[in-house]
Structure 1
């Protein structure tokens, strides 16, 4: 496998930027048979996942995804967006400052959350999902870039897509496309 981490393809632009990172199978499922995206990712996807995490100022994730994927504290601060106001159990005892909770009831809540993070100096934010949070962020006009990984497998079934929720129409512009070991990695800029 060729190394993707050091080639500059995923360098952050200057200033505030929200980058979403999602993985799907060739047939469009964003989750494996167990309901987790972690079961469909591969070594190439994991390399990019960790690269984006390690270079971000903050990680944004929906509470449902954090629960399903077994999120715990990370080296990069994690912001859990929750409609219920509850942190996943795996994150309840996290060291102070490593995990914070944000209300995700509507687009205004999301706008306040992102504006607050930017005001605190968290300019480079990576959203790791889930599909509902990504849809809400897109509807709010907050996503600047979508990094998508298509892994070379088919799983059929009723798996969720990378974006769910109410219908939306968001234009994208391809910024980069890389193939590595049969895995397709794309960076899409959101047209605003």
Structure 2
């Protein structure tokens, strides 16, 4: 937990409340702290597979980052809990190159709190990170991790393709597209590996690509009780799109709102 999350937890002790529930396993309203982790896990269970969800955070004035240019700058304790839970419910996490660079991603692990529920859900112990880069560049902090916990999705024309294969292992580099990564090809390739529960944590451009291609099933959006002003990215970037979503669940803790929004098909 970063220092901001720690200080927030010290100042605020309100329970996490389920205000709207789309799950028959948990009815609303409910005090999720009293019901325990099994109820919270059930409140976020994907309704079917395959399933592609995004997890993003925004301030009240619509910024996807804090003043420091990182989404971590606007995280709250409630957001951190759900962040780790969503990872625990996924086969793999797919992240765009810009976010990998800005947020300093390394290989992933499952928070101990959720490991038992993940195992009971039939999911493997490891959680691969899939980096998306049109140019095929492996971020320095991920270079040389060739055990299958880090993969790269890139293009056939990527200048860094050969170096990526050498760094991560050829079987861990997925070519899906000629000039730009084709998200539909990537989702299909991950599905062939048996990874049907996919989570993306951004960034806004990669999320915009998924939405434009009609691939997003769910947006988990945290609204932090913070204003930052300035000129910062929004949750979604890219060309204009019009996509309707339906509210599936809504949680609240210490003023942080956490919503599950399902794409209307």
Return the match for 1:16 from 50, 54, 57. Answer: 50
The runs of 5 or more residues in structure 2 that have no matched partner are 1-13, 17-31, 110-126, 156-178
How far is 1:2 from its partner?
2.6
Structure 1 stretch 12-21 or stretch 97-106: which is displaced more? 97-106
How far is 1:95 from its partner?
4.3
Residues 88-109 of structure 1 deviation map (CA, whole Å, 9 limit, x = unaligned) = 11111324200101127547x1
- Secondary structure, counterpart of 2:58 in structure 1: strand
Q: What CA distance in whole angstroms lies between the structure 2 residues aligned with 1:103 and 1:138?
A: 19
What are the residue-to-residue correspondences of 1:118-129 with 2, within 5 Å?
A: 118-129=191-202
Q: What CA distance in whole angstroms lies between the structure 2 residues aligned with 1:114 and 1:125?
A: 8
Residues 2-49 of structure 1 deviation map (CA, whole Å, 9 limit, x = unaligned) = 355532211122320000000000100000112110111111101000
- Decide whether the 8 Å contact of 1:60 with 1:128 is kept in 2: yes
Higher strand share: 1
- Give the root-mean-square deviation of aligned CA atoms: 1.5
The aligned residue for residue 35 of structure 1 is 69
| Structure 1 residues 110 and 83: alpha-carbon distance in aligned structure 2, compared to 1, 3 A threshold | same
Bigger relative contact order, structure 1 or 2 (CA pairs below 8 A, ≥6 apart): 1
Structure 1 stretch 3-12 or stretch 36-45: which is displaced more? 3-12
The aligned residue for residue 94 of structure 1 is 145
Is residue 87 of structure 2 the alignment partner of residue 53 of structure 1? yes
Is residue 239 of structure 2 the alignment partner of residue 166 of structure 1? yes
- Secondary structure, counterpart of 2:195 in structure 1: coil
Aligned length: 191
Higher helix share: 2
Return the match for 2:221 from 148, 171, 192. Answer: 148
The aligned residue for residue 176 of structure 1 is 249
The aligned residue for residue 2 of structure 1 is 15
- Decide whether the 8 Å contact of 1:103 with 1:110 is kept in 2: no
Residues 43-65 of structure 1 deviation map (CA, whole Å, 9 limit, x = unaligned) = 11010000011220000100110
- Secondary structure, counterpart of 1:31 in structure 2: coil
How far is 1:128 from its partner?
0.4
Q: What CA distance in whole angstroms lies between the structure 2 residues aligned with 1:35 and 1:184?
A: 21
